[in-house]
Structure 1
Amino acid sequence: MISETIKQRLATIEQLPSPLNTMLKDLPIEQLGYFSSTQVDDMCQAMTISRAELGLVLLPLASSFAVAPVSNFHVGAVAFDSAGNAYLGANFEFAGNHIGQTIHAEQSAIAHMWQRGATELALLVINYAPCGHCRQFINEVNIADKILRQADDENSHCQQDSVDTVDMAHAQAIHAHDHCHAPYSGNKCGIALEYAIEDTEKEDNTEIVTGRYAENAAYNPSLPALQVALNFRRMQGKDWQNIKRVVMVETTTNFSQVENTRSLLASINQSTNQDIPIEWYKGSANQSYLYNLQTHAIISVKTKHT
C-alpha cells in the first residue's frame, strides 16, 4: 500500500528547482526513490550540474521518505553506484522500541543500493555530517572485498533455483540468507516479508519483500535483515505495516536476530493489533535441509559444498 504520509510530503517536489520539478512531478511514488543512470544524466544535463550537485538537490526528496517519531528530525541521503544510478535513503525510527533499532539515512541509501543489486558505491551525498556509527558503516563498504557484490552462485549453498520449497517466501528467504554479508560472525540471516496487495486481477494477491544481514566489523553498526527489508519497502514509497507473514532463515553461531526481529515486528504492527509469528528456520552450509525451530518441519535443500 502506498504511504499517505509520503504522498503528502512529496509536495516538496514542486519546491525543487526547475526543470527538475517538472521532470519528477508526474512519476509514480514507487519510482521516486531510485533513478537510473539515464535519468541521472538527463537531470544533470537539464540543470547543467554534476552528479554530486544533483545529489544535494535531491536531498529534500530523499528526506520525505523518513519516519522519525522519536526525534522528528528527517534526514536524507543519496548514493550513486559506479554505473551512475542514484539510490535515495532516509532515517527510520521505530516508536515504542529500542532506539538502537534506528536506520540512519546513510545506512538506508547504501542498503537500498545493495538490495537493487549494485556492486560499487561511487558517491554518497548527505545533508548532515555522518555520526561515528555511520562512518563505521560507510568504512565497511570501503574495506570489505566488494561488500555490495552478489555472492558467487558457484559458492552458494542455498540457491533459489535449486530449493524444493512449498512457496516463494521460503525460497526468497533462503536466497536472502545465502547472499548476506556476515564475514566476521558467520551468522547469516535472510528474511522474507509477505504483504497483501490490492490488485484483484492478479492470481497471487501477495508481494514479498526480502532483507539480508549487512554485518559491520564493529558489530553495533550492522544492519539486521529485517531493517534492510523494511528500508527497501519504504524506499518504494510503501507503508511497512500490515505484514501478513514472516519467514526467517539463519545460520546461527553465537547469537541470533530472531528476538530483536520479533520485538521490532510487534512495534510496527501495533496499529493493527496483529501478532505476526516468525517462521524461523535454521540453515547450515553443511546440511541438506532447513529446520523449522518451532514446528520442526524440514525443507529440503540441494546444497553445493565448497
Structure 2
Amino acid sequence: MSSNPFKADPAIPARLASLGPELREAVQQAAKGVLASRARAPLGNEGSVIPRAVAEDLIGRFQLSSVRELMLLLLDVAKGYAHPSISDFHVGAVGLEAETGNLILGGNVEFPGSHLGYTLHGEGFIVIRAMSRGANISTLAIGEAHPCAHCRQCLAEYARSGELELIDPLGHTLSLAQLYPWPFDPAYLGEPGAMPGRVLWPELAFAEASDHPEAPALLAAGRHSHSPYSRCPGAVVLTLADGNHVSGIAMESVAFNPTIQPIQAAIVNLLAHGYGYADVREAVLGTVIGGAVDYSRSTAELLASLSPDIRLTVLGWRG
C-alpha cells in the first residue's frame, strides 16, 4: 500500500464525531426529503441538487460549522445515487457549485454485461451533473481525498481545475494541483479546457433533415458537446416512460481516455433524477457517422447491457 504524503487536520474528524449519530441522522434524513421532492423533474435539471438556500437552512437548523461540514455529513446520502452492480462498493461524492453555492450529490455507476471501461466514479458523476447544469465545481467532498489517476485526469480537463479543492472526513483539504502537480492538461493540445455552458458547435446540423420529435433537443445538446480533440460532437436524449426526457453530451479528455461518452452522461442525469434503467423507452443519438469518433456502436452496446427493449435511433451530424 502506498503511503500518504499529506497531513490531515485531526480537528475535522473529531468535530464530526462530536456531532453524534442522532444529529447526523437528522441532517441526512432532512436532506433525503429535499432530494426526494426534486426527483423525477428533469425539466428543471434539479435532480440530486440541494439549493444553496436549503443548504444554509440545514447548516443553521443543525448548528453546523460550515457548508463543508454539511458536505461531509451528506456523503452517506450521496451513496444512494451509486449503482455498483458489479463490485457492490458504494461511493458517495458531493460537489459545491462555484457559481451558485448549490450542492450536487452523486455516486459510482457500474454496468454488468459490459466492460469495466464504462464504469463511472463518484467524482465523474459530479462533474457530469455540473457540466449538464452549466456549472463549475469549486469543492469536492469524497470519502478519502485520494481520487484515482483516471479521475484526476478527468478533473484536469476543466478550465478551472486549478481552483478545485478536495475534502474528506479524515481531515484532508487538498487542491487538485497537490494531487496532480504536473498534469497533462488541455494546454498541451492548445485548448482552454472544458467550460460548462460553452456552445462549442454553434453551427452543428444534421446531415439529413429529421422529423424525429427529439431532434431539436438533441441538436441543442450536441452544440454543447465538449469534443475539441476529435471534432466529433456527440449527444443522447433518452425518452422515459412518463414522457420526460434526459440528455447527455460527450466530454472528451485531452488524454482521449478517460473521455465520457454521451450515453454515460445521459445515464448519470437519468439516475440523478430518480429514474431507473427500466424507465427508458428510447434513446436517440447524434454522432458523426463514420467519423474519427462515432458513438453508434458503443451506445448500442451499453444500452443493450441495461435493457434489450430500449429502442435506439441514430441521427448523423453533418461532418
Q: Which one of the candidate residues 40, 44, 47 is aligned to 2:55?
A: 40
Mapped partners of 1:236, 1:211: distance in 2:
13
| Amino acid aligned to 1:258 | S
CA contact (8 A) 2:236 2:248 kept: yes
Mapped partners of 1:185, 1:167: distance in 2:
26
Mapped partners of 1:132, 1:266: distance in 2:
29
Aligned-residue offset at 1:151: 2.6
Question: Which deviations, in whole Å up to 9, do the C-alpha atoms of 1:129-187 show, x marking residues without a partner?
Answer: 2000001001111266462431349x61248xxxx853541111111111110111111
> Which residue number corresponds to residue 77 of structure 2?
61
Q: Classify the secondary structure of the residue corresponding to 2:252.
A: coil
> Which residue number corresponds to residue 125 of structure 1?
141
Q: Which one of the candidate residues 118, 127, 135 is aligned to 1:101?
A: 118
Q: Classify the secondary structure of the residue corresponding to 1:241.
A: helix
| Structure 1 pair 18–239 and aligned structure 2 pair: CA distance change class (3 A) | closer
> Which residue number corresponds to residue 166 of structure 1?
211
Q: Which one of the candidate residues 180, 202, 205 is aligned to 1:156?
A: 202
> Which residue number corresponds to residue 194 of structure 1?
239
CA contact (8 A) 1:92 1:104 kept: yes
| Amino acid aligned to 2:64 | T
CA contact (8 A) 1:187 1:255 kept: yes
Question: Which deviations, in whole Å up to 9, do the C-alpha atoms of 1:178-208 show, x marking residues without a partner?
Answer: 11101111110011111111xxxxxxxx111
Aligned-residue offset at 1:28: 5.5
| Structure 1 pair 67–172 and aligned structure 2 pair: CA distance change class (3 A) | same
> Which residue number corresponds to residue 31 of structure 2?
24
CA contact (8 A) 1:111 1:228 kept: yes
Mapped partners of 2:90, 2:22: distance in 1:
17
| Structure 1 pair 105–37 and aligned structure 2 pair: CA distance change class (3 A) | same
Question: Which deviations, in whole Å up to 9, do the C-alpha atoms of 1:38-63 show, x marking residues without a partner?
Answer: 11222223333222221111100001
| Amino acid aligned to 2:313 | E
Asked if 1:110 is matched to 2:117, the reply is no
Q: Classify the secondary structure of the residue corresponding to 2:266.
A: helix
Mapped partners of 1:255, 1:183: distance in 2:
12
> Which residue number corresponds to residue 77 of structure 1?
93
Map residues 228-243 of structure 1 onto 2, 5 A cutoff: 228-243=265-280
| Structure 1 pair 105–30 and aligned structure 2 pair: CA distance change class (3 A) | farther
| Structure 1 pair 15–284 and aligned structure 2 pair: CA distance change class (3 A) | farther
> Which residue number corresponds to residue 297 of structure 2?
259
Mapped partners of 1:258, 1:77: distance in 2:
30
| Amino acid aligned to 1:265 | L
| Amino acid aligned to 2:288 | T
> Which residue number corresponds to residue 207 of structure 1?
244
Q: Classify the secondary structure of the residue corresponding to 2:274.
A: coil
Asked if 1:184 is matched to 2:229, the reply is yes
CA contact (8 A) 2:239 2:280 kept: yes
CA contact (8 A) 2:284 2:313 kept: yes
> Which residue number corresponds to residue 6 of structure 1?
none
| Structure 1 pair 78–207 and aligned structure 2 pair: CA distance change class (3 A) | same
What are the ranges of 5 or more consecutive residues in structure 1 without an aligned counterpart?
1-13, 198-205, 286-306
Question: Which deviations, in whole Å up to 9, do the C-alpha atoms of 1:218-245 show, x marking residues without a partner?
Answer: 1111110001001011011211224221
Q: Identity, % of aligned pairs?
A: 26
| Amino acid aligned to 1:283 | W
> How large is the Cα RMSD of the aligned pairs?
2.5
What are the ranges of 5 or more consecutive residues in structure 2 without an aligned counterpart?
1-20, 39-46, 162-184, 187-191
Asked if 1:138 is matched to 2:155, the reply is yes
Q: Classify the secondary structure of the residue corresponding to 1:87.
A: strand
CA contact (8 A) 2:199 2:223 kept: no
CA contact (8 A) 2:28 2:74 kept: no
Aligned residues: 256
> Which residue number corresponds to residue 301 of structure 1?
none
Aligned-residue offset at 1:216: 0.7
Mapped partners of 2:116, 2:212: distance in 1:
34
